[in-house]
Amino acid sequence: MLQNDHYTYRVTWSEEDGEYVGLCAEFPSLSWLASEPEAALHGLRQVVSDVVADLQANGESVPEPLAAKKYSGRFMVRVPPELHRRLALEAAESGVSLNRLAADKLSRAHS
């Protein structure tokens, strides 16, 4: 397995497969099925390790772990003009900036 494996893993139940599935955010095309969640994670971590070794051996770029990335706290979102208008009106009526309104809505949606 990889040393210093800082990738983002998730194990969830797959109703369709009747097993647990291990997933890795940095390698969305990879997965591993197993009857136990621990085995799904272990199997996927081994596959990721093998893929990283193969990429490195071939001089290809290896995805940076999400945990190692720095985030500015800024991103741009495109929305339909009518939604933009409705949000701008809601922000104005609430006495806050459109940015503050959007951040509050995203924060509530994520909790």
- For 79, other C-beta atoms within 10 Å of its C-beta total 11
- Please tell me whether residues 78 and 57 are part of one structural domain: no
- Please tell me whether residues 13 and 57 are part of one structural domain: yes
Q: What is the mean pLDDT of the chain?
A: 94
pTM above 0.85, yes or no: no
Query: Is residue 33 a part of any domain in this protein?
Result: yes
Q: Which DSSP category does 49 fall into?
A: H
- Residues contacting 104, CB < 8 A, separation 6+: 96
Mean pLDDT over 43-70 rounds to 95
Query: Is residue 16 a part of any domain in this protein?
Result: yes
d(CA 104, CA 97): 11
- Range(s) of the domain holding residue 44: 9-67
Looking at residue 110, its pLDDT comes to: 82
27: left (phi over 0), alpha (psi -120 to 50) or beta: beta
